[in-house]
């Protein structure tokens, strides 16, 4: 017989542990950490395993997590309803892993979704719920929900009608979809630039951003590494506000009026000293800033105040 209390205790402990890890490390977590997991009553509880649908030994029936590997073999995507389509394990609908997800759907059990953004790093999202099963297409539909709607014993969920629950989950899942793309872009850009600022070589990852050359709200602003730069927070802000420009030959220029200012050592060493230096480039040519995009951005810089 399914032990509801035990299952809820394990899931609650997993969600609490993940919350703590995200508060310490951010929501993109290394696989090694997830594979090690945590201890519950002296039993180790890993959160991921060799397969995408994962149930630790401490659980009896339903998986704890589902994982999408970066550039993996499974065609996981979002449907027009903004819900995640998660592929079956293999083609047998009665495979134990597929039965486990079906059981989670029937019992409305919350899971964790780990989306691989780069090899070895995963965006952690929870709670997610399996909301539909399509054997014909070998897929499950998965929705993300707010943490207050865990639906576990001891967690008092906000009661909603089915229609409002569906609308809420679609909204939350759509927001997560945007976050997935943002985190994937950031991780790929930072990886290409060897996790250092392209201007000053600062290596403290907590202070690094993935800056767009052409904003993602504009045509040509696709989230490709060639439209990105790894920049520290200071230089990201300076680049966005046209204090600094980059020529298509990868040379940095500082705006003329900024070069003439006198405002202490930060301006001198962190901004003015960059003038006529070259940016750090990714080792792979295909990952380097696209020169046509740099040209567009550089012309905007030239048209900015007293450039």
Within this chain, do residues 212 and 166 fall inside the same structural domain, yes or no? Answer: no
Residue 157 DSSP symbol: P
Between 6 and 172, name the one with better pLDDT: 6
pLDDT attached to residue 284 = 95
In percent, the amount of the chain with pLDDT more than 70 equals 91
Dump pLDDT digits (tens) for 279-304: 999 999 999 999 999 999 999 999 98
Within this chain, do residues 102 and 232 fall inside the same structural domain, yes or no? Answer: no
Q: 3-state DSSP helix/strand/coil percent for the chain, to nearest 5? A: 40, 20, 40
Q: How many domains does the chain have?
A: 2
Within this chain, do residues 105 and 202 fall inside the same structural domain, yes or no? Answer: no
Dump pLDDT digits (tens) for 83-102: 889 999 999 999 999 999 99
Within this chain, do residues 159 and 239 fall inside the same structural domain, yes or no? Answer: no
pLDDT attached to residue 32 = 96
What is the average pLDDT value for the chain, to the nearest integer? 89
Within this chain, do residues 172 and 50 fall inside the same structural domain, yes or no? Answer: yes
Within this chain, do residues 175 and 248 fall inside the same structural domain, yes or no? Answer: no
Supply the pTM of this predicted model.
0.75
From CA 134, how far away is CA 123, in angstroms rounded?
26
Within this chain, do residues 173 and 207 fall inside the same structural domain, yes or no? Answer: no
Residue 162 has pLDDT above 80, yes or no: no
Residue 163 has pLDDT above 70, yes or no: no
Within this chain, do residues 61 and 180 fall inside the same structural domain, yes or no? Answer: yes
Domain boundary (134, 156, 189) is at 189
- Full residue range of the structural domain in which residue 104 is found: 4-189
Domain boundary (139, 171, 189) is at 189
Within this chain, do residues 215 and 181 fall inside the same structural domain, yes or no? Answer: no
Query: Coil, helix or strand for 201?
Result: coil
Within this chain, do residues 136 and 239 fall inside the same structural domain, yes or no? Answer: no
- pLDDT-derived band at 13 (thresholds 50, 70, 90) equals very high
Any bridge partners for residue 143, and if so which?
Answer: 129
Residue 169 has pLDDT above 90, yes or no: no
pLDDT attached to residue 159 = 43
Task: Return phi, psi of residue 129, to 5°.
Answer: -130, 135
Within this chain, do residues 222 and 174 fall inside the same structural domain, yes or no? Answer: no
Within this chain, do residues 158 and 229 fall inside the same structural domain, yes or no? Answer: no
CB 123 within 8 A of CB 112: no
Query: Coil, helix or strand for 119?
Result: coil
CB 242 within 8 A of CB 253: no
Domain boundary (189, 208, 225) is at 189
pLDDT attached to residue 307 = 47
């Amino acid at each position: 017989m399914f032990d509801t209390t035990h299952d809820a205790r394990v899931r609650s402990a997993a969600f609490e542990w993940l919350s703590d890890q995200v508060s310490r490390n951010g929501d993109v977590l290394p696989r090694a950490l997830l594979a090690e997991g945590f201890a519950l009553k002296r039993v180790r509880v890993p959160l991921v395993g060799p397969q995408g649908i994962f149930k630790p030994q401490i659980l009896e029936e339903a998986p704890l997590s589902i994982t999408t590997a970066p550039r993996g073999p499974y065609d996981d995507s979002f449907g027009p309803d903004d819900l995640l389509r998660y592929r079956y394990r293999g083609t047998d609908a009665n495979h134990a892993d597929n039965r486990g997800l079906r059981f989670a759907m029937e019992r409305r059990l919350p899971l964790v979704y780990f989306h691989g953004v780069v090899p070895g790093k995963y965006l952690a999202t929870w709670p997610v719920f399996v909301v539909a099963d399509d054997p014909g297409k070998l897929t499950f539909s998965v929705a993300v929900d707010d943490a207050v709607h865990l639906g576990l014993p001891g967690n008092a969920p906000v009661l909603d009608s089915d229609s409002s629950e569906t609308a809420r989950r679609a909204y939350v899942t759509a927001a997560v979809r945007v976050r997935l793309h943002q985190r994937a872009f950031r991780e790929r850009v930072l990886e290409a630039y060897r996790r250092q600022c392209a201007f000053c070589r600062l290596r403290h990852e907590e202070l690094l951003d993935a800056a767009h050359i052409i904003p993602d709200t504009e045509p040509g602003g696709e989230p490709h590494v060639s439209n990105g730069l790894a920049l520290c927070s200071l230089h990201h802000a300076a680049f966005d506000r046209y204090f600094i420009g980059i020529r298509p030959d990868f040379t940095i220029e500082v705006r003329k009026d900024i070069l003439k200012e006198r405002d202490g050592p930060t301006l001198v060493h962190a901004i003015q000293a960059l003038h006529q230096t070259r940016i750090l480039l990714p080792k792979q040519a295909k990952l380097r800033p696209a020169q046509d995009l740099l040209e567009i951005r550089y012309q905007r810089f030239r048209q900015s105040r007293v450039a």
